[in-house]
Amino acid sequence: MAEVSFPFDSVQADGIDDRVYYAEDFKRYFKQFLKNGVYPNPSTNLKVEALNDNMILSVNLGSAFINGTCYSVIEDKLNITVSDAHISYNRKDIVVVSLNETDRTVNILYKEGVASASPQAPTITRNADIYELKLCEITVKSGVNRITQADILDTRLDNSVCGFVTGLVETVDTTELFNQYETYLNQKIEEWKQTQQQQSNEFNNQMTEIENWFTEVKLDITKLQSFDFDNLAELKGATKKTIFLENGDAEEKIFITADNTKVADRVTKFLENEDIEVNTKVYERNGKTIMKEVTVLTKFNSDGSITEVVS
């Protein structure tokens, strides 16, 4: 048949219709002005989403157009169970709308990928018998028992694998938009990773500063709680040094051995009236500023008693 015209009312002759139309006639007609893809309104048409924090996906209500054939999910959302994750490797699966000319069906299909160190998503099939639209790509991470929305890459905007239904005369090319979206998403993910690493480094630095500060505070507290000079000599890393002067007095020093920072001084003087004066100083962390100073005068009384005066 060289020429075809469509459609006209059928006229019967001897009980036989002279105009009989087939599905292929309608497909050929619609393919002339409609492009394959998902219908754009509403924006959730056939969008695949994670469901209830488990391994089940949900396909939203909506319609698609494939090679002159219409497909719809109506009334209730369509649920898809994702296969169990591999224990060691990630996997990439896809969800497609598949037209099968041999079976005369259009269905949503879940196509499982192969787990590996560098997983690749399954390819879509497009030949004389089968034509598929890829709705999304799912990353199934190793060892997980749930799929999150972040694991689902929506590919409905990508004209190379799906796209939106538009008129063939004035089409909207969403491939560039999809590429920009994917580039922007990857850029933000990388920025987030860098920010996370920076924050982790800053946190570790702050923790080190806090730990050092706390160690020093504990040292100060120890100094104040155990003002006894001899007890201070027991501080970690401390050394005690005693010098006996020619006049019989004694000078004692406690310092941190590593940097020679003073912790405390004690000077014992034997006075001419046989009284004893002991001056003790405890220093702050800089080894210069006096944190606390006490002078104890021990008096030996004529009645045999001893009196201590603290100032």
Q: Higher-confidence residue: 270 or 90? A: 90
Mean per-residue pLDDT of the chain: 81
Q: What is the pLDDT of residues 181-232, one digit of tens each?
A: 777 777 888 878 777 777 777 777 777 776 766 666 556 555 544 556 766 6
Q: What is the pLDDT of residues 126-183, one digit of tens each?
A: 999 999 999 999 999 999 999 999 899 999 989 899 988 876 555 555 666 677 777 7
At 63, the pLDDT band (50, 70, 90 cuts) reads: very high
Q: Which two tokens stand for residue 114?
A: 């192969």
pTM > 0.75: yes or no: no
pLDDT attached to residue 49: 93
Distance CA 57, CA 146 (A): 10
pLDDT attached to residue 204: 77
Containing 37, the helix (H) or strand (E) segment is: strand 37-38
Phi-psi domain of 209 (left: phi exceeds 0; alpha: psi -120 through 50; beta: other): alpha
Q: What is the pLDDT of residues 27-60, one digit of tens each?
A: 776 666 688 889 888 888 999 999 888 999 999 9
How far from chain centre, in Å, is Cα 63?
A: 34
At 87, the pLDDT band (50, 70, 90 cuts) reads: very high
- Would you call 194 helix, strand, or coil by DSSP? helix
- HSE (side-chain half, CA atoms, 13 Å) at 173: 5
Taking domain 12-188, whether its CATH number is 2.60.520 is answered by yes
Q: Which residues are registered as beta bridge partners of 56?
A: 51, 81
Q: Where do the structural domains in the chain lie, given as residue ranges?
A: 12-188, 223-310
